[in-house]
Structure 1
């Protein structure tokens, strides 16, 4: 692959931040995109010569297009795209409002759709191949009580990954998916204490994942070691789920 330029959404905190920093730590150029620009700028400060912070709302296709145009103009055409932005709030399905459901789907499913739709044409035109890595969730593989709509959206990301992998193979672009289990992020820490304790107890390793442990397989999928791997899904959950 040519000089690496990695676009990472949701790079202001949690897993997305860990991914952005991991790419920069190995000397790659990174665009750290986040709804919270201040948070993205904080990420960028750790590698100011390598990371460019830009704002985006992945649920808004127009703002994703602005991100694409600024990325290309200020950094270049990315050859790695990581869809790490996500959002959820745990509650029973019967309590979910239409507005909540639409927000979950807009961010967690349509977000990757918008980003891929915006950036893939430029990657194809560049003719250098590339990598797309989508962050889904083990909830999308096996379901999760209290996260039915989120699980459905993340299941859609898994199916999107596999389908895009088939379409993008002719251009030398791989598309793979990483599914985190419970991870020590601000989103997880905002959950109910009893729920957090129950999840940790259910994990065979008896602890949460660290964000950098989720970043590791993302970097693998982006590396030359994964040059013949596409359409695959890997869980990072400490054995909480062992989906086939």
Structure 2
């Protein structure tokens, strides 16, 4: 198998039906992986799976019954590349942040990745190969106002990824984070409106005054750029890369 090829590999991408997840699905499939598109959008997941000759896993990862040991053992059988990408966002000052929203974000973006990693590691250890790739964020390294739950979840995900790397290294399993800045996705488009409301400014000023003020490169990250990096991390070319966090933030975290 060529070093960059993923032929014969079986991957799962959570939140894979749209945005960053869909770009990752396409990048992995282009390198030859069979990709399982995991998403609560059943139609979107099945359509993309058909496009890339993969399969779909219609799932609400916030449903406790979907993440039991038995359910995950069935859904993740044979998976040797796990991409934890599913995420949501809420923007509010801490004093106005609904506890239910805080818990939902921590659950989906930290607890669920732990459960998925826990489920796939035994089979990866047996095979002597595995790739855990966590889609973090510049907010896994830096904080921003009004995003207490998101920042806390991403910081936690960065730590979980490093522990996974230390435990998995002797078994051929690597674990890394990809940490982009603002990516051109529907989630970010919604954030523009939310940030405008939170800061009391027009939506047209959010990118220049809020989102990209710290970036040396003044544009949004393209989803395909994230997908390309994830596909490389999944390959044998990246066999010595583990416990790392690859920022893709236009220089934001360099400050």
TM-score, with structure 1 as normaliser: 0.90
- For residue 28 of structure 2, the aligned residue among 13, 23, 29 is 23
The alpha carbon displacement at 1:22 in A equals 0.7
Conserved in 2, the CA contact under 8 Å of 1:57 and 1:64?
A: no
RMSD, matched Cα: 1.8
Kindly indicate whether residue 46 of structure 2 is the aligned counterpart of residue 35 of structure 1: no
Kindly indicate whether residue 65 of structure 2 is the aligned counterpart of residue 62 of structure 1: yes
Kindly indicate whether residue 232 of structure 2 is the aligned counterpart of residue 232 of structure 1: no
In 2, distance between residues paired with 1:29 and 1:218? 15
The alpha carbon displacement at 1:165 in A equals 0.7
Q: Deviations over 1:116-163 (max 9, x none)?
A: 1122222223x2311100111111201111212210110000000111
Partner of 1:216: 228
Conserved in 1, the CA contact under 8 Å of 2:80 and 2:120?
A: no
The alpha carbon displacement at 1:225 in A equals 1.4
Conserved in 2, the CA contact under 8 Å of 1:64 and 1:118?
A: no
Unaligned runs of 5+ residues in structure 1 are none
Conserved in 2, the CA contact under 8 Å of 1:137 and 1:180?
A: yes
TM-score, with structure 2 as normaliser: 0.86
> Which SS does the other structure have where 1:176 is aligned?
strand
Partner of 2:116: 115
Q: Which has the larger radius of gyration?
A: 2
- Deviating runs (4+, > 4 A) in structure 1? none
1:118-137 to 2 correspondence within 5 Å? 118-125=119-126, 127-137=127-137
In 2, distance between residues paired with 1:35 and 1:135? 18
> Which SS does the other structure have where 1:184 is aligned?
coil
Aligned residue pairs, count: 236
Cα gap change, 1:81 to 1:137, in 2 (>3 Å): same
Conserved in 1, the CA contact under 8 Å of 2:76 and 2:119?
A: no
